[in-house]
Chains A and B, each alone.
Chain A
Amino acid sequence: MSNKQQHPNLLTQGVFIFVYLAVLTALEFFVAVTFNSVVILVAVALVKAALVLWYYMHVNKLSESDESNHEAYAYKSGTNRLGLWLFLVSDSFVFGGLMVMRLSLLGMTRPDLSQTLGFFVTAVLLISSFFMNRGEVELHNGNRQGFLRNTMVTFVLGLFFLLGVILVEWHTVPAIAEPILHLFGEPEGKPLLKASSGPAGAAFFMMTGMHAFHVLTGLILLLIIWVNGKKGLYDEKQYPVEAAAVYWHFIDVVWIFFYPALYLIGTAV
């Protein structure tokens, strides 16, 4: 492994990327609440996605392969990596279709939701991606405890995001949702967004629902690598951890586009 000595740098790099992402997210929010330029919002989302794809998901690893021995673990991992990325490409078409649906039904309007709450859950998911990256790098560096700790933090943040969407945003348990929504500045007695009430509700529940389903599967993968990591696996064969991490970041990339689509662009209806 020739790039072993670079790994400490990767930890610092992860921090830098996170700072960029955080600044961009704040910028996005600011643009949305002030002059709401769709062009800027789309551009920011593209930059954020590119950062995650390149630095957290290592899309460039796809092109490196060791052609010599087809039975070697490295070669097989390369094949698995290609398989995973092909799956993500396929999955993107679902989310792309949902985006088309949203744009077609809602155009330049958006569901009337608390923008601050949206910002908050987005931040939670973004931070989870940061810890995921850290966990992966720690494992490469041979620091199993660090890997387990960071993966657990990722898991908890992911769970937090999922519960935030399902319990609060979906208003499934009013006793929990009401006080939190209030905290985020939602006026009392505001009419609830319902799946069956109109295009905004339909689009919102469908998009967050499909995303939440992916978060759920991602959480299951995180749990699997955490438990197996605790058992002492992944000393040599680390591809499963990479796969779970890439999948987790992919969920974040989807949200990088869904967040402005649902919370930021256009005017609330």
Chain B
Amino acid sequence: MKNNSLGRAFLLLVIAGAIGYGIGLGIDFSIRGELKLSASVPSAFALLFSFTAFFFGLYGYRGITRGLVFQVVGTVIGAALVTGIRALMGLESIGAFLFTEPAWVFGALVGVISFFFGVGVMTDWVKWARGIDTPDHHEDEPGWQKYFGVSLDHKVIGIQYTVTALFLLAVGGTFALIFRTELAASGLDFLTLDLDVFNQNGPQLYNTLMSLHGMIMIVSILLGISGIMNYVVPLLVGAHDMAFPRMNAFAYWVAVPASVLLLLALILGGFDTGWTGYPPLSSRAPLGVQMFFLGVFTAGWSSILGALNVIATVVRMRARGMTAMRMPILVWASVATSIIALTATQLIGLSFQLVMFQRLFGMGFFDPGKGGNPVLFQHLFWFYSHPAVYVFVLPGLGVISELLPVFVRKPLFGYRWVAMSSLGIALVGFVVWAHHMFTSGMNEYLRVPFMYSTMLVAVPTGVKFFSWVATMWGGKIETPTPMLFVLGSIVVFLLGGVTGPPNAMVALDLHLHDTYWVVGHFHDTIFGGFVFPFFAAIYYWFPKATGRKMNEFWGKVHFWLMTPSFFALTLGMMFIGLRGMRRRIVDYDPALGFDGAHLFLTVCAFLIAISILIFFINFFRSIKHGEPATGNTWNSRSPEWQVPSPMPAHNYEVPFEVVGEPYDYGLPGSKFVEFAAKTAGKH
């Protein structure tokens, strides 16, 4: 990346931010009649202007820049339209955030759709609708520029996903550091009551940051797994691209306006519901909750369409000889994940949509005063959100099974069982959702069946653990950075796994629910099932994408700083949780005696943040300065490593055929794939 364009981008970011802020301030002043520096409208303008200007400086007026401009203009036009209609109908037309809530919601929707046209993902489809054919492949411009515009290459899209996921990880992590700081001591009140930013006082801001931390991290996870699946699955199955390249690009670009909406939720008044958005609280929360709902709804489409593409790719585009029982485990895991994402995601979208409509049109779905039922929301919500945890972790568990044999130089133990366990987890995962609702007041007879079905998940999960342990048993374990993260995943996920069944016990969960115990538990599952394997995957496939390795030393520093801090963090959380620390509160009673523990947890959180910062620096430096690695860096049997790195645009120049088992490491003479050119004479 040219340094001068980056410098220019940052300069424009500051200038445009200031201009946007000034305009917003003027508008805000003209409505409010007083000058309020930390109000929402100027900040919203500053955010949108600076984002757009940054990409303009970097990339010019095309691709993402054009998309963002369209989004901003579309939002304003949509909102103005509703405002105009409301004014004509004699309804209130100006709200606390410049526009009224219906105007913001409609505007945001128009903005998202405008983004698609601006960025250019609709171009080919519009042509098709007009009966014009387009070429199958589009050539990308060389260099870094292709990452900022619409590309149809699954490898480019995979990297776009990954980098966006890392960006959101940093944003969500920053939020966590802010509210972790607030918790460092009881009565700290660093987010004070007189604070007034974005129309929120300190404790309200705490709630907003806490809620957004949850959802931004979840979106980051969804994009992260899409990143892995997009980059790796077509390579593993020997396809030249995904089945639907345009929809693939679309699914990625959906996530960008969605992220903008999530950030707007912070600025437009925030919300205090947690990531779960339960009514009745969410039907009364500030405007921010609408942006949150719409953002999640939009991001959900990314997940749904991405999943559709993965399934179609695996079903239709496998290399010759790759029968179901010779597919790499990561491919199996991706299919299992995608089955959940394809179907269940619709239910969180629906549940959020119903609350949006309840707020906009007074439809009383979840309002007992109008004959509605708030518990219904929780059923719809958890019907997605429990299976969603398997969406988060299955690809990660697939990465573990994929990498482990490479680094222990032994066959994967129990291939068939591991392949089937992913599907097993996905299917059982559909019938456990109400374990999140033991205290909700749902019908009591539902508790026991959901308790047992939840316990059942331990069976296929256990299969994976047995396989990993047996694979390592007696192997020659090498520990370069990716393998360290794989080992870390296994241990951390084990801790997450054994702390799950206690929650599934009704009698215990009535006490554990909504305590820090649960917070510790799910951070373990998510780190073990996603974050550690994600890092492992990045360290592992980085050379494939760039032709260079990430720095080993700093990779090891990253690992050895993050892992102990993380253990201390979640064990500490569980410890205070068991002793009665509530989750989702801004302050606590000093008499509980948790001050020391909380200070310790905050220190751990900062150590993790430092380790991830090290990762970021390593990541971006290695793109240019990493040690060259164009060959089979890890000595893997997998087809993508049999060709030089970085991978050429349309993947394999000669197709390969699968002739053996994928994980027969160390068995003399065994072969997984054969490339057509080499075997030309044989057949």
Q: Roughly how many angstroms separate A240 CA and B130 CA in the complex, as a whole number?
A: 12
A-B contact count (CB 8 A): 100
Interface string of A228-257 (1 = CB under 8 A from B): 100101000000100000000000000000
Question: A199 near B350 (CB under 8 angstroms)?
Answer: no
B244 and A83 contact, CB distance less than 8 A: yes
Chain B residues with CB under 8 Å of A199's CB are 364-365, 370-372
**B416 nearest CB across to chain A (Å):** 24
If A83-B243, A196-B361 touch, whether A93 touches B347 (CB-CB below 8 Å) is yes
With known contacts A101-B376, A104-B373, A105-B372, A87–B308 Cβ distance under 8 A: yes
* Segment of A44-52, A111-119, A147-155, A201-209 engaged in the interface with chain B: A201-209
Whether, in the assembled complex, B193 has its beta carbon less than 8 Å from a beta carbon of chain A, the answer is no
Which of B309-317, B431-439, B591-599 forms contacts with chain A? B309-317
A183 at the interface (CB under 8 A from B): no
Residue of A nearest to B301 (CB): A90
Instruction: Give 1 or 0 for each of A99-123: 1 = CB within 8 Å of chain B CB.
Output: 0110011000000000000000000
Residues of B within 8 A of A189 (CB): none
Q: How far is the CA of A199 from the CA of B367 in the complex (A)?
A: 9
Tell whether, in the assembled complex, residue B372 and residue A94 are in contact, meaning their CB atoms are under 8 Å apart.
no
**CA gap between A94 and B312 in the complex, in Å:** 21
Q: Is A167 positioned at the interface, with any CB of B under 8 Å from its CB? A: no
Q: Do the beta carbons of B129 and A195 come within 8 Å of each other?
A: no
B312 x A83 contact (CB < 8 A): yes
Q: Are A198 and B371 interface neighbours, CB within 8 A? A: yes
Q: Is the CB of B131 within 8 A of A231?
A: yes
For A, the interface residue count at a CB cutoff of 8 angstroms equals 35
Contacting A at CB under 8 A, from B102-125, are: none
Q: Is the CB of B350 within 8 A of A233?
A: no
A51 and B244 CA atoms in complex are apart in Å by 30
| Residues B129 and A224 in contact, CB atoms below 8 Å apart | yes
The answer to whether B373 touches A91 (Cβ under 8 A) is: no
A79 proximity list for chain B (CB < 8 A): 243-244, 312, 316-317
CB within 8 Å for A86 and B347 given contacts A70-B317, A105-B365, A196-B361: no
Chain A neighbourhood of B61, CB < 8 A:
none
Most buried by B among A82, A91, A97, A228: A97
- Across the interface, which residues of B come within 8 angstroms of A87, CB to CB? 308
Whether A198 and B354, one on each chain, are in contact in the complex, defined by CB atoms closer than 8 angstroms, is no
| B130: A residues at CB distance < 8 A | 228
* Cα(A210)–Cα(B189), bound, Å: 46
Judging by beta carbons under 8 Å apart, are A196 and B370 in contact?
A: yes
Q: Is there an interface contact between A196 and B304, defined as CB atoms closer than 8 Å?
A: no
A201 to B317 Cα, complex, angstroms: 47
- Asked if B349 is at the interface of the complex by the 8 Å CB criterion, the answer is yes
Query: At the interface, yes or no: B343 with Cβ under 8 Å from chain A?
Result: yes
- Chain B positions within 8 Å of A104 at CB level: 373, 376, 379
Query: What residue in chain B is nearest A196 (Cβ atoms)?
Result: B362
**Chain A: which residue is nearest B365 at the CB level?**
A202
Could you tell me how many residues of chain B have their Cβ less than 8 Å away from some Cβ of chain A? 40
Q: Contacts A86-B312, A202-B365: A228 and B131 contacting too (C-beta < 8 A)?
A: yes
B346 at the interface (CB under 8 A from A): yes
Q: Does A135 contact B (CB under 8 A)?
A: no
Cβ of A27 within 8 Å of any chain B Cβ, yes or no, is no
Q: How far is the CA of A202 from the CA of B372 in the complex (A)?
A: 9
Residues of chain A with a CB closer than 8 A to B351's CB = 97
Cα–Cα, bound, A82→B371 (Å): 41
A227 contacts the other chain (Cβ, under 8 Å)?
yes
Partner of A97, one of B243, B347, B372: B347
Q: B350 to A94, Cβ gap below 8 A?
A: yes
Q: Are A94 and B346 in contact (CB under 8 A)?
A: yes
Cβ of A86 and Cβ of B311 under 8 Å apart? Answer: yes
Q: List the B residue with the shortest CB-CB distance to A220.
A: B129
- For chain B, residues 308 to 362, give those with C-beta under 8 angstroms from any C-beta of chain A: 308-309, 311-312, 315-317, 342-347, 349-351, 354, 357-358, 361-362
User: What B residues does A90 contact at CB under 8 A?
Assistant: 304, 308, 342-343, 345-346
Contact in complex: A78, B372 (CB < 8 Å): no
CA distance A122 to B355 in the complex (A): 29
Is A89 interfacial (CB 8 A cutoff)? yes
The answer on a CB contact under 8 Å between A198 and B370 is yes
Complex-state Cα separation, A32 to B358, whole angstroms = 31
| Contact call A89/B343, Cβ cutoff below 8 A | yes
CB–CB A206/B131 < 8 A: no
How many angstroms from the CA of A57 to the CA of B370 in the assembled complex?
Answer: 40
Collect the chain B residues with CB atoms within 8 Å of residue A180's CB.
none
| A83-B346 contact in complex given A78-B316, A196-B362, C-beta closer than 8 Å | no
Tell me, yes or no, whether A31 is within 8 Å of chain B by CB. Answer: no
* B376 CB to nearest A CB, Å: 5
B window 75-101: CB within 8 A of A: none
Known: A100-B376, A196-B361. 19 other contacts (CB 8 A): A83-B243, A89-B342, A90-B346, A97-B347, A97-B350, A100-B380, A104-B376, A104-B379, A105-B376, A195-B362, A195-B363, A196-B362, A196-B363, A196-B370, A199-B364, A199-B365, A201-B363, A205-B363, A224-B129
Query: Considering the complex of A and B, which 10 residue pairs feature the smallest CB-CB distances, nearest first?
Result: A196-B362, A202-B363, A93-B346, A199-B371, A228-B131, A97-B350, A79-B316, A94-B346, A86-B308, A198-B371
What are 30 of the A-B contact pairs (CB < 8 Å)? A65-B316, A78-B316, A79-B316, A79-B317, A82-B316, A83-B247, A86-B308, A86-B312, A90-B308, A90-B343, A93-B344, A93-B347, A97-B347, A100-B379, A100-B380, A101-B376, A101-B380, A104-B373, A104-B376, A195-B363, A196-B362, A196-B370, A197-B370, A198-B371, A199-B364, A202-B363, A202-B364, A202-B372, A205-B361, A206-B365
